[in-house]
Amino acid sequence: IYGFAEQGRPVYAECGGLMYLCRVLHAGGAAHPMVGVLDAEVVMHDRLQALGYVEVETTRPTLLGAPGVRFRGHQFRYSELRRGETLAEVFRVHRRRDRASFPEGFAWRNVLATYV
């Protein structure tokens, strides 16, 4: 998978796939090496970190198209992503229940990964 992504081939990952593409997953007091495609680490928590429906808009070109692509999705996760400097955020996510917004969606080369 790492070699495929490094060659610029398209990779799309959601939730667990996003976590798998990171460098390290921290869970249960241990650090577990992952694929290492994304410059990020994942930390598992005992409590929910996100739950609910969201509306998303791309802010940069992605595998989904030009900036401005809109879609809806859902988040249900106990993990937190700690992004490195080389990992670009490419979405603006709006929670439906309170309209709060935050950056999300992560891209590197032709890889697009998201919790949504």
CB 39 within 8 A of CB 89: no
Residue 73 pLDDT: 96
> Of 1, 15, 43, 64, which residue is the catalytic one?
15
**Could you tell me the pTM of the whole model?**
0.91
pLDDT tens figures, 18-27: 999 999 999 9
15 in catalytic set: yes
**96 pLDDT tier (thresholds 50, 70, 90):** confident
CB 96 within 8 A of CB 68: no
d(CA 26, CA 59) in angstroms, rounded, equals: 29
Residue 19 pLDDT: 98
Mean pLDDT of 57-86: 95
Instruction: Measure the CA angle with vertex 89, ends 85 and 50; round to 5°.
Output: 110
Q: Which residues have a Cβ under 8 Å from the Cβ of 75 and sit 6 or more positions away?
A: 50, 51, 52, 54, 115, 116
d(CA 104, CA 2) in angstroms, rounded, equals: 22
pLDDT at 99 over 90: no
pLDDT tens figures, 27-42: 999 999 999 999 999 9
Residue 97 pLDDT: 86
d(CA 111, CA 88) in angstroms, rounded, equals: 11
pLDDT at 61 over 90: yes
Radius of gyration of the chain (CA): 14
pLDDT at 1 over 90: yes
